Amino acid sequence: MRFEKTQRTPLVEMSNSHCLIVGECYPENISEWSQPVFAALEDCVGTQDSFDVDIELYYFNSSSAKFLFDFFEFLDDKADEGVSIVINWRYRAEDDTMQEAGEDFEEDIENCTYNLVEAESADA
């Protein structure tokens, strides 16, 4: 499943073993955008023993923060049920806002392996 990137929403790729989110996230209507993404996640996670998540966001607004929180909470519950889940939160070097955001989410994750990864600089 693939959700194309727009000016205000990131690219999302979802398979039974992997989820990739890259870009900026401040949708015009957060629930309209997030519902199909969340539905895809629910369909995919748990179909296999493990699931990997790569997230590289450059900006997200406060409405999207709630989506990300729910997204991680869902993954953490699945990990508690026995799925082996690895989350990689990627941020650009010197982007302290996204680094801090990654640290904030990390604090509420108990059952997933969570990595903060400093990514290479801008790919323009």
Partner 1 sequence: MTNLDTVGLHDFMQRRKTLFCYSGPLTEELLTTISNPVRHQLTENETPEAIANRVFGVFIEQAQNIIRYSSQKTKAAGDSVGTIAISYIDETFLIEAVNQIDSTQKSALEKTLLELSLKDQKDLRKLYRQRLKDGPPEDSQGAGLGFIEMARRVKRFEFDFNDSNSNPMFVYRGWVE
The reply on whether position 109 binds partner 1 by CB under 8 A is: no
Nearest residue (CB) to partner 1, 49 versus 123: 123
CB 44 within 8 A of CB 80: no
Q: Which residues pair with 35 in a beta bridge?
A: none
CB 76 within 8 A of CB 110: yes
CB 92 within 8 A of CB 121: yes
Span of 10-18, 24-32, 44-52, 110-118 interacting with partner 1 by CB under 8 A: 24-32
Span of 36-44, 46-54, 60-68, 112-120 interacting with partner 1 by CB under 8 A: 60-68
Q: How far apart are CA 108 and CA 7, in angstroms?
A: 29
Q: Under the rule (CB under 8 A), what is the footprint of partner 1?
A: 7-8, 26, 28-29, 58-59, 61-63, 65-66, 69, 92, 94-98, 100, 104, 107-108, 122
